[in-house]
Amino acid sequence: MPSEEFIVTPWEVEGHVDYGKLITLFGTQPIDDHILGRFKKLTGSIPLMLRRKIFFSQRDLNWILDCYEAGQRFVLYTGRGPSGHTHLGHLMPWVFTKYLQDSFGADLYFQLTDDEKFLQKDPLSMHMVRGFSYDNALDVIALGFDPQKTRIFLDTEYVHTLYPIALEVSKRVTFSAARAVFGFDVSTNVGMISFTSMQSAPAFLPSIEAGRNVPVLIPCAIDQDPHFRVTRDVAPKMGYYKPALIHSRFFPSLLGQDKMSASLPETSIFTTDDPDEARRKIANAFTGGRATVREQRELGGTPDVCTIYQYAFYLFEEDDRRAFELREECLTGARACGTCKKELADKVVAFLEDHQRKREQAKDRLEDFMVRDC
Amino acid sequence: MPSEEFIVTPWEVEGHVDYGKLITLFGTQPIDDHILGRFKKLTGSIPLMLRRKIFFSQRDLNWILDCYEAGQRFVLYTGRGPSGHTHLGHLMPWVFTKYLQDSFGADLYFQLTDDEKFLQKDPLSMHMVRGFSYDNALDVIALGFDPQKTRIFLDTEYVHTLYPIALEVSKRVTFSAARAVFGFDVSTNVGMISFTSMQSAPAFLPSIEAGRNVPVLIPCAIDQDPHFRVTRDVAPKMGYYKPALIHSRFFPSLLGQDKMSASLPETSIFTTDDPDEARRKIANAFTGGRATVREQRELGGTPDVCTIYQYAFYLFEEDDRRAFELREECLTGARACGTCKKELADKVVAFLEDHQRKREQAKDRLEDFMVRDC
């Protein structure tokens, strides 16, 4: 979906993303106070990522909550394109997905689109994307999803199950429709052109398995919305509910762009980074600070462009009052970048050490989560 | 591949096909006397379908025979788009394939493209194309293929095996390349656009399974050549041999067009037709005869446009001398249409009765031939 200032597609995010404009461009709905109130009523609290509007946009989310209130369980569906190691930006929506699973007792289908990443990324082999898939699955498992309620699969290992559903989607999507949504041109390979049907398939699988229509909620970053617009277009033609969506912003890059990129290691902290590496990346991060400590004291910093502040805001400072104070202290010059970096680095390292321990344990638990055709 | 007088694509054959021109348009090679001589030398005789140039065109067939002479076994690959019951036009290349299996001891991979027919034909459901697939498989088995050397599969049941290979193909085929070969437009569904990669996959499977390059020969009607041009284009990029091809003409329609069509039952004799039905269709067939018996006696008929004569020539008159005599007797007026129809009907009915018996037996032998992912 190109605009003058930024580009957001499933394969490209560039420029400074205006999330309000994206809601208009994509035709989604904002997460409003009414929805926050419903979450509070249903789950007892409003999680950080909703309070702070990190998940900021939705489609049919009120309907999902209506279903739940009427006693109808919904199923969660999310995924990952396994083009590299997992970084904190990938974890963010999964952390929120875990909250949804815990709070609503929802089953989760987690798709690893190894086929897509193979098709999309020239240098990646099937062997490499499969390796990244299992690597990424460890991070999903390490977050503590319920093995009784979670299935993780690679497209190439679950294709016998997914392909007949993908065919039903493919038959209903013309080239011109796909081109309009994704911006394909004549040099796009034919696999990429039809891939979206594989990303639609898991949205219908719960209904097929249950033999009745099952509501599905897809938490994902907003760049995946184009795929699910296709899914929602074909759903009624196939006799299924349209899946609901809840969209997150992009996790900030340490160098200050709008989305972390696994292909630029310095912009991201990976779950496999060792503590020294993480500290070094944070020390080198782009901040909203002034050129000198003196200027910072006199003029204050700009937390809203600061990646260190955003890390705290998105993931590492649970306490709203404390998050607010951090911002104020920066704005007034009471706080220097070094302090923020040190505090964040300590938290990130503590998180990584804990996560990496659980990630190691996950290696023995893969088979509790992975499903395959055979 | 459009031309002024006729159209031949995998999904459409229209007009009066000029097979010589098709060789030029498609860039294939004719089956010449040198090749016939090699078949005679290697197998002891030249089968009807080569002698009569019903298989008339090829790509790299001499290379396949070179490999065989050098002691390297080739594998056969053919298939069927299961959009309806099997008619005699479908059987024709399979009869030739059976000869190749018997004469060269070749393994056969037989693909039923249920995915393609579902995607292509609006009214067909997945359930219907799967039903036709198993129905068609009975006809393949009834022809007497060696179960030790033959595997038959539906794409949707073997997709776990085929999909990773299809992805390797898809990645190397752009929309513009596919459009140039198949004539897609913007209203084509995205499944049809990428489908050709599934039809390429079995051409590489023997090499993947063997862990070394295996020569593959594809006997098929000439309308399938566009798919295998794609296969041959990508083969060297994937590190495999290009599959060789041997192309047949189209089996004549009883109403005198160029290809039998399963969607027009009166144009075709189906393997499931009962004897009365077959006799009726033959009685109503388009012939090269004159309006009256008297005119026929005086002026003679036109066997080259006669579907009855063509049935004999393609399948039902093995004896070349007798086939020549039939033609001469028609040309000179010594033979009336009624006689030809009666003789052909007797042969067709005898064939159908035998085939239907074997087809019944094949129901108990399906599992000796079918392979599935799981």
pLDDT per residue over A320-351, tens digit each? 999 999 999 999 999 999 999 999 999 999 99
Q: Which residue of B has its CA nearest to A125?
A: B168
The residue type found at B15 is G
Q: Taking a C-beta distance cutoff of 8 angstroms, is the pair A108, A98 a contact?
A: no
Q: Which residue did the predictor score with more confidence, B124 or B13?
A: B124
User: pLDDT tens digits for B152-195?
Assistant: 999 999 999 999 999 999 999 999 999 999 999 999 999 999 99
- Coil, strand, or helix at residue B116? helix
From CA B360, how far away is CA A133, in angstroms rounded?
47
Strand partners, A152: A110, A370
Segment B342-367 mean pLDDT: 98
From CA A163, how far away is CA B299, in angstroms rounded?
60
- Coil, strand, or helix at residue A290? coil
Core vs surface per residue A61-79: b (16+ CB within 10 A) or e: bebbbebbeeeeebbbbbb
Pure H helices in B211-284: 225-238, 275-283
Mean per-residue pLDDT of chain B: 94
CB contact under 8 A, A163 and B115: yes
| DSSP state, residue B316 | I
Q: Taking a C-beta distance cutoff of 8 angstroms, is the pair B225, B181 a contact?
A: no
From CA B305, how far away is CA B287, in angstroms rounded?
7
What pLDDT score was predicted for residue A260? 54
Give residues 82 to 101 of B whose Cβ lies within 8 Å of A. Answer: none
How many residues are listed for chain B in this entry?
374
A208: which 2 tokens?
């097929």
Pure H helices in B240-362: 275-283, 293-299, 307-311, 320-332, 337-362
CB contact under 8 A, A190 and B178: yes
B119: which 2 tokens?
């995607």
User: pLDDT tens digits for A343-352?
Assistant: 999 999 999 9
Segment A61-84 mean pLDDT: 97
> Is A16 in the B-facing interface, judged by CB distances under 8 Å?
no
| DSSP state, residue B253 | P
Q: How would residue B14 be classed by pLDDT, with cut points 50, 70 and 90?
A: confident
Q: Taking a C-beta distance cutoff of 8 angstroms, is the pair A335, A300 a contact?
A: no
What pLDDT score was predicted for residue A258? 55
From CA B81, how far away is CA A101, in angstroms rounded?
44
What pLDDT score was predicted for residue B1? 44
What pLDDT score was predicted for residue B265? 75
B43: which 2 tokens?
């197998």
What pLDDT score was predicted for residue A2? 46
From CA A199, how far away is CA A71, in angstroms rounded?
28
Q: How would residue A4 be classed by pLDDT, with cut points 50, 70 and 90?
A: low
From CA A369, how far away is CA A147, in angstroms rounded?
6
> Is A161 in the B-facing interface, judged by CB distances under 8 Å?
no
From CA B247, how far away is CA B56, in angstroms rounded?
6
From CA B366, how far away is CA B183, in angstroms rounded?
37
User: pLDDT tens digits for B45-89?
Assistant: 999 999 999 999 999 999 999 999 999 999 999 999 999 999 999
What pLDDT score was predicted for residue A262? 56
What pLDDT score was predicted for residue A198? 98
CB contact under 8 A, B186 and A164: no
Q: Which residue of B has its CA nearest to A163?
A: B156
Instruction: Show residues of chain A in contact with B193, CB under 8 Å.
Output: 175, 190, 193-194
B51: which 2 tokens?
């002698």
Q: Taking a C-beta distance cutoff of 8 angstroms, is the pair B138, B112 a contact?
A: no
Instruction: Show residues of chain A in contact with B201, CB under 8 Å.
Output: none
The model carries a pTM of 0.94
Q: Which of A126, A171, A192 sits opposite B119 (nearest CB)?
A: A171
CB contact under 8 A, A190 and B197: yes
State the maximum Cα–Cα separation within chain A, in Å, rounded to a whole number.
67
> Is A190 in the B-facing interface, judged by CB distances under 8 Å?
yes
H/E stretch holding A13 reads: strand A12-15
Q: Which of A119, A168, A179 sits opposite B171 (nearest CB)?
A: A119
Q: How many CB atoms lie within 10 A of CB B372?
A: 15
What pLDDT score was predicted for residue B16? 82
> Is B357 in the A-facing interface, judged by CB distances under 8 Å?
no
Q: Which residue of A has its CA nearest to B185?
A: A175
Set out the domains of chain A in order of their start, with CATH numbers.
6-255 (3.40.50.620), 265-361 (1.10.240.10)
CB contact under 8 A, B184 and A175: yes
Dihedral sign from CA coordinates of A304, A310, A314, A319: negative
What pLDDT score was predicted for residue A1? 44
Least Cα separation, residue A68 to chain B (angstroms):
33
What pLDDT score was predicted for residue A374? 87
Mean per-residue pLDDT of chain A: 94
Residue that is written with structure tokens 């599969």 in the block: B153
- Coil, strand, or helix at residue B30? strand
Q: Taking a C-beta distance cutoff of 8 angstroms, is the pair A245, A27 a contact?
A: no
- Helix axis angle, A190-210 relative to B175-182, nearest 10°? 90
CB contact under 8 A, A170 and B126: no
User: pLDDT tens digits for B250-300?
Assistant: 988 898 765 555 567 788 999 999 999 999 999 999 999 999 989 999 999
Residue A5 pLDDT > 80, yes or no?
no
From CA A245, how far away is CA A74, in angstroms rounded?
12
User: pLDDT tens digits for B187-219?
Assistant: 999 999 999 999 999 999 999 999 999 999 999
DSSP A93-155: HHHHHHHHHHHHT--EEEEE-HHHHHHH-TT--HHHHHHHHHHHHHHHHHTT--TTTEEEEEG
Instruction: Show residues of chain B in contact with A175, CB under 8 Å.
Output: 175, 184-190, 193
Q: Which of B254, B300, B298 is nearest to B280 (CA)?
A: B254
From CA A127, how far away is CA B173, in angstroms rounded?
20
Using CA atoms, how far residue A16 sits from A258, A311, B260, in Å, is 6, 17, 60
- Coil, strand, or helix at residue B366? helix
What pLDDT score was predicted for residue A8? 85
Q: Taking a C-beta distance cutoff of 8 angstroms, is the pair A371, A153 a contact?
A: yes
Q: Taking a C-beta distance cutoff of 8 angstroms, is the pair B349, B281 a contact?
A: no
Using CA atoms, how far residue A365 sits from A134, A154, B63, in Å, is 12, 16, 52
From its phi and psi, is residue A367 left (phi > 0), alpha (psi between -120 and 50) or beta? alpha
Residue that is written with structure tokens 């995915």 in the block: B115
Q: How many CB atoms lie within 10 A of CB A210?
A: 11
Instruction: Show residues of chain B in contact with A188, CB under 8 Å.
Output: 174-175
User: pLDDT tens digits for B109-138?
Assistant: 999 999 999 999 999 999 999 999 999 999
User: pLDDT tens digits for A218-260?
Assistant: 999 999 999 999 999 999 999 999 999 999 999 888 987 655 5
